[in-house]
Structure 1
C-alpha cells in the first residue's frame, strides 16, 4: 500500500515512515481496501498534530491526534482509524439486522 506522508515542519525519516506504515498494515486486517491514504504531520507549539484521511467504498475516514511525542500521536491516530473502520465494516450488518426482523402477528 502506498501512503502519502507530508510535513512542512519535519523531515519524514525512515523510522517515521515505517511507524505510519505499520499502523496502516493493522488496518488491512479488516480486508477493506483503503483508497489513497494520506497522512499530514504538523507541529503546533510543543505538540505534534497528525491527521490522516483514507477513502473506503462510499465514505472517507478522517482522524487526527495530538501529542508531545510524535510516535504516541501516530499510535492514537491508528487507534481512531481502527475504530472508524470497525464501525464501517459492521455497518451493513447492523442495517440488515434491523430490516429483516419478522413482524409479530396478533391472532
Structure 2
C-alpha cells in the first residue's frame, strides 16, 4: 500500500505520520482492498482540515473533515473513510449470485442389535 502524507502549511510530524499509517494499516487488515492513499493536512488559525483520497480495487474514495485540532480532524476522517470502506465491503459480500454455505445433513448410523438380546 502506497501512503503519501502532505501538510500544506508545515512539515508532517512523526506522531501524525504514525497515527495515519496505523489507521490505514488497521483498515487494510480489516478490508484488504486499499492499494494507495493520499492524505492532505492543512492548518489555519481557526480550524485544522484533513482530507483523504484512497484508491481501492476499481474505485476511489474521498472524504474531508474539519475540527479544532489536527488529531480530532484525523479521527473524524478515519470514521468517514471506514464507513465508506465498510459499505463497499458489505456490498461485495452480500451480492446476488454468491454461493450459499453448504450445510451437511446428519448421517443416520444403522442400529446394530445386541446379539445377547436377540432370540437366535
Query: What is the match of residue 49 of structure 1?
Result: 49
1:41 partner SS: strand
1:10 pairs with 2:10: yes
Is contact 2:31–2:86 with CA below 8 Å preserved after alignment? Answer: no
Larger radius of gyration: 2
Name structure 1 gaps, 5 residues minimum.
101-107
Query: What is the match of residue 107 of structure 2?
Result: none
Matches within 5 A, 1:1-107: 1-96=1-96
Structure with more helix by fraction:
1
Is contact 2:64–2:77 with CA below 8 Å preserved after alignment? Answer: yes
TM-score by length of 1: 0.81
TM superposition outliers: structure 1 runs of 4+ over 6 Å: none
Taking CA–CA contacts closer than 8 Å with sequence separation of 6 or more, which of the two structures ends up with the larger relative contact order? 1
Q: 2-side partners of 1:35 and 1:47: how far apart?
A: 30
**How large is the RMSD of aligned CA atoms in angstroms?**
1.8
Is contact 2:43–2:70 with CA below 8 Å preserved after alignment? Answer: no
Report how many residues are paired: 98
